[in-house]
């Protein structure tokens, strides 16, 4: 998989790709991530990429021309399955979207900034819009990093134990059951005996029960359908 990220702050988004599972996925060549500084495509030598909004109002808007130049250049080099815009006024990211995107070959992620982008970018160039939650960030970069993390860990071969992504919270519309490790007792707090019993069918049953119990309590909306 190849991910091209278009941003006005490449430095802001790079570090999550330099650690842990995501770094290993890049090192193993299971994913390539490229950062494109929108200012490289600016209209003048001062790096102009934004302007005041028509009709007045606070905040600058990213102009269509630099974004179009950048996306057009990338599209000349390869076909893209999705061109995603990170913005709070979009459907919220969920596990199903992450699963679907993890199967794509090439995606572009455009990070919004300031007041957002000229609507014509969204109408003409973008194929999918994603929010990471009902709150406003200073830009789309952190959202793009969250999206990439959620997607990259699902690419086959990225997680050592192939089954571990399948047992994540949300994969079956359930939250994960609680987990325990050594010591089996700490300050009088005991790990559930069933988990130490070695009876794997019973353990599985217990985990399913706990997952359902937790979901009912914390996220009953996941069970609505
Ligand atoms: N940009 C600003 N806020 C955002 C959000 N909640 N999700 C995605 N991109 C954003």
- Options 3.20.20.120, 2.60.120.10, 1.10.1270.20, 3.40.50.150; CATH of 167-225: 1.10.1270.20
> Which one-letter DSSP state was computed for residue 114?
T
Sign of the four-CA dihedral 214, 147, 123, 112: positive
Helices and strands (DSSP H and E) totals, the chain: 7, 9
Residue 135 known to bind ligand:
yes
- Rounded Cα gap, residues 89 and 135, in angstroms: 10
The answer to whether 115 and 87 are in contact (CB under 8 A) is no
Residue boundaries of the structural domains of the chain: 2-152, 167-225
Q: Encode the chain (225 residues) as per-residue pLDDT tens digits.
A: 999 999 999 999 999 999 999 999 999 999 999 999 999 999 888 889 999 999 999 999 999 999 999 999 999 999 999 999 999 999 999 999 999 999 999 999 999 987 899 999 999 999 999 999 999 999 999 999 999 999 999 999 999 765 577 778 787 889 999 999 999 999 999 999 999 999 999 999 999 999 999 999 999 999 997
Whole-complex ipTM: 0.98
Collapsing DSSP to helix, strand or coil, 34 comes out as strand
Pocket test for ligand 1, best of 85, 131, 146 (most atoms within 8 A of CB): 131
In tens, the pLDDT along 3-31 reads 999 999 999 999 999 999 999 999 999 99
Pocket test for ligand 1, best of 136, 146, 148, 150 (most atoms within 8 A of CB): 136
Q: Residue for token digits 């599972």?
A: 21
Residue 19 known to bind ligand:
no
- Output the CATH code of domain 2-152: 3.40.1280.10
- Rounded Cα gap, residues 210 and 171, in angstroms: 15
Ligand 1 pocket, Cβ-based, cut-off 6 angstroms: 86-88, 112, 131-133, 135-137, 140, 143
* DSSP notation for 190-209: EPPGGGGS--HHHHHHHHHH
């Amino acid at each position: 998989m190849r991910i091209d990220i278009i941003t006005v702050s490449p430095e802001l988004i790079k570090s999550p790709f330099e650690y842990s599972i995501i770094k290993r996925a890049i090192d193993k060549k299971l994913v390539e991530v490229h950062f494109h500084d929108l200012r490289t495509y600016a209209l003048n030598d001062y790096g102009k990429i934004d302007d005041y909004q028509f009709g007045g109002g606070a905040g600058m808007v990213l102009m269509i021309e630099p974004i179009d130049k950048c996306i057009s250049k990338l599209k000349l080099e390869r076909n893209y399955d999705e061109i995603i815009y990170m913005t709070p006024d979009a459907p919220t990211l969920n596990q199903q979207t992450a699963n679907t995107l993890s199967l794509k070959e090439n995606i572009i992620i455009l990070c919004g900034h300031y007041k957002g982008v000229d609507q014509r970018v969204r109408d003409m160039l973008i194929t999918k819009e994603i929010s990471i939650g009902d709150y406003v960030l200073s830009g789309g970069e952190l959202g793009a990093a969250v999206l990439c993390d959620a997607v990259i860990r699902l690419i086959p071969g990225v997680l050592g134990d192939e089954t571990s992504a399948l047992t994540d919270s949300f994969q079956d519309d359930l939250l994960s059951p609680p987990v325990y490790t050594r010591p089996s007792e700490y300050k009088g707090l005991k790990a559930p005996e069933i988990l130490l019993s070695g009876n794997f069918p019973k353990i599985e049953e217990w985990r399913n029960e706990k997952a359902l119990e937790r979901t009912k309590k914390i996220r009953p909306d996941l069970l609505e359908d």
